[in-house]
């Protein structure tokens, strides 16, 4: 482990109030410092230096909607190509009208500038690289079949999508796991059921025979002890409420060889935040068996989160959104609704946080990746890739869209030397009773 000091110099969760403004062109990076002082004074702060700076507040724009009043970025995805380039795929949807097209963009210089590639006429796009080959999960129509396409020229052109699995399934870019020559992922159906899928990596992933599908698992009811039931859907207390509890956007992780599926859980219109569903996945080589295991606390589990495993640090890394007031203790409902806020108060998406852990269940804070001052702005739906010593994040970002859900941008952020943010979590079992000190601590 690279850490030699007992505490990481990461910003803590409570030290967050900054303003970020970005350039209007993809090739320019703008710091939030230019407008930070004025913003903080408006909110009653005495000095800008009173608050910690996020890890990757500055950003470049990988994609931007043509007209924010008509379109929004849905669920962008990013991958690092074999050449070291980055490919970003940003579904562009019409507000109230559904999918329009995929905005395809690529960076040759580590995310500082983005080249627009030809658009694709699909609803969804999740790019990923396995065994040096670039694939993309896509759908001509949302929640209708599982399709994959392949590019042999790093995203410039693509094969026609092939439907490899039938069913009303969907996901965006979430964690995948590779084990024993197979790729594992999970999809949801109508945000009420999930399935796991496995691909034989010795075969072409555009071949339906390469794929197996598990049984479906239906969302169990959240135990009444875990929610106050503050916001019944029939009461329509908040704008754009869900019709009830949902689970969706599953990640698959391999923990010490065991496969787990972790899902976003929206309970009581976000008033119970930080909760995830956990399923176990077994594969005997023929049958995939998926079973619900438990609900488990997970910071940011009420919104989409993304989990990656890093071989070098031997840690899982996760990006997720933390809300500041999920049950509206400050009585801001009318102010939020008047601003155009989308959903219950726990649907706040302006703090994008970074976490790390050993088991993908218990998470330690590394810091805030980026944040906005307004409840109707957001950095959300993160996709992550490792790039040497850095962690790169693609965010679905609402800057000027009018609410925190309908993003007008896809923004690229770089967390430099991210492994240095982690403490050494691994216990020393053979050092007990020998005067062991924490790493980097010495007796005087």
What residues of the chain score a pLDDT lower than 50? 1-28, 30-48, 441-444
| CA gap 60, 411 in Å, rounded | 6
pLDDT at 20: 37
| CA gap 357, 430 in Å, rounded | 22
- Residue 166 burial (C-beta neighbours within 10 Å; 0-12, 13-18, 19+): exposed
- pTM, two decimals, is 0.89
**Beta strands at 246-255 and 275-283: parallel, antiparallel or unpaired:** unpaired
pLDDT at 432: 67
Q: Is residue 437 part of a domain?
A: no
Domain that holds residue 380: 33-426
Q: Which residues pair with 240 in a beta bridge?
A: none
Alpha helices in 251-394 (DSSP H): 333-339
Contacts (Cβ under 8 Å, ≥6 apart) of 378:
321, 349, 350, 372, 396, 397, 398, 404, 405, 407
Q: Is residue 419 part of a domain?
A: yes
Contact between residue 127 and residue 136 where contact means Cβ atoms under 8 Å apart: yes
Domain CATH number, residue 260: 2.120.10.10
Q: Is residue 319 part of a domain?
A: yes
Contact between residue 222 and residue 273 where contact means Cβ atoms under 8 Å apart: no
pLDDT at 436: 56
Question: What's 143's DSSP letter?
Answer: T
Contacts made by residues 401-404, CB under 8 angstroms, sequence distance 24+ = 401/68, 401/72, 402/68, 402/340, 402/376, 403/339, 403/340, 403/341, 403/342, 403/376, 404/341, 404/342, 404/347, 404/348, 404/349, 404/350, 404/375, 404/376, 404/377, 404/378, 404/380
Q: Which of 175, 171, 128, 130 has its CA nearest to residue 307?
A: 175
pLDDT at 36: 39
| CA gap 143, 188 in Å, rounded | 9
Q: Is residue 280 part of a domain?
A: yes
Q: What dihedral do alpha carbons 298, 302, 303, 306 form, nearest 10°?
A: 20
Q: Which of 222, 230, 181 has its CA nearest to residue 201?
A: 181
Q: Is residue 436 part of a domain?
A: no
| CA gap 23, 60 in Å, rounded | 7
Angle, vertex CA 209, rays to CA 206 and CA 214, nearest 5: 105
pLDDT at 96: 86
Task: Note the pLDDT tens digit of each residue in 82-103.
Answer: 999 999 999 999 998 899 999 9
Strand (E) or helix (H) holding 289: strand 288-297
The total number of structural domains that make up the chain: 1
pLDDT at 52: 86
Question: What 3-state class would DSSP assign to 347?
Answer: helix
Q: Phi/psi at 37 (nearest 5 deg)?
A: -60, -45
Q: Is residue 27 part of a domain?
A: no
Helix, strand, coil tally for the chain in percent (to 5):
10, 40, 50
DSSP result, 320-346: EEPPS-TT-TT--HHHHHHHT--SSGG
Q: Is residue 181 part of a domain?
A: yes
Q: Is residue 187 part of a domain?
A: yes
């Amino acid at each position: 482990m690279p850490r030699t000091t007992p505490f990481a110099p990461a910003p803590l969760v409570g030290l967050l109030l900054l303003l970020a403004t970005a350039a209007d062109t993809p090739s320019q990076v703008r710091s939030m410092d230019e407008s930070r002082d004025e913003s903080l004074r408006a909110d009653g702060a005495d000095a800008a230096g009173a608050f910690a700076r996020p890890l990757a507040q500055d950003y470049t724009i990988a994609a931007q909607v043509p007209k924010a009043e008509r379109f929004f970025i849905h669920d962008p995805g990013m991958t690092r190509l074999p050449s070291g380039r980055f490919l970003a795929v940003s579904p562009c949807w019409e507000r109230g009208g559904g999918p329009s097209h995929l905005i395809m963009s690529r960076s040759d210089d580590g995310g500082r500038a983005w080249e627009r590639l030809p658009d694709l006429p699909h609803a969804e796009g999740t790019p990923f690289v396995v065994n040096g080959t670039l694939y993309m999960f896509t759908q001509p129509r949302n929640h209708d079949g599982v399709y994959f396409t392949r590019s042999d020229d790093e995203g410039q052109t693509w094969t026609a999508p092939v439907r490899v699995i039938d069913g009303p399934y969907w996901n965006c870019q979430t964690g995948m796991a590779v084990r024993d020559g197979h790729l594992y992922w999970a999809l949801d159906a109508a945000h009420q059921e999930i399935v796991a899928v496995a691909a034989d990596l010795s075969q072409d992933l555009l071949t339906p025979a390469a794929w197996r599908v598990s049984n479906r698992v239906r969302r169990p009811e959240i135990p009444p002890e875990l929610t106050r039931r503050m916001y019944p859907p029939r009461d329509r207390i908040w704008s754009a409420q869900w019709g009830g509890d949902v689970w969706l956007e599953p990640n698959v992780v391999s923990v010490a060889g065991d496969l787990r599926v972790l899902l976003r859980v929206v309970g009581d219109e976000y008033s119970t935040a930080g909760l995830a569903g956990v399923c176990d996945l077994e594969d005997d080589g023929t049958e995939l068996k998926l079973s619900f295991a438990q609900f488990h606390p997970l910071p940011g589990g009420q919104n989409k989160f993304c989990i990656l495993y890093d071989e070098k640090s031997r840690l899982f890394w996760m990006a997720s959104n933390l809300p500041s007031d999920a049950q509206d203790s400050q009585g801001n409902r009318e102010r939020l609704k008047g601003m155009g806020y989308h959903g219950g108060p726990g649907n706040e998406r302006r703090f994008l946080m970074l976490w790390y852990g050993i088991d993908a269940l218990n998470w330690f804070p590394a810091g805030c990746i980026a944040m906005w001052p307004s409840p109707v702005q957001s950095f959300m739906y993160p996709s992550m890739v490792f790039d040497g010593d850095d962690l790169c994040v693609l965010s679905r970002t609402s800057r000027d869209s009018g609410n925190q859900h309908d993003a007008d941008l896809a923004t690229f952020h770089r967390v430099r030397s991210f492994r240095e943010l982690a403490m050494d979590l691994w216990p020393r079992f053979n050092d007990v009773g020998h005067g062991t000190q924490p790493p980097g601590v010495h007796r005087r």
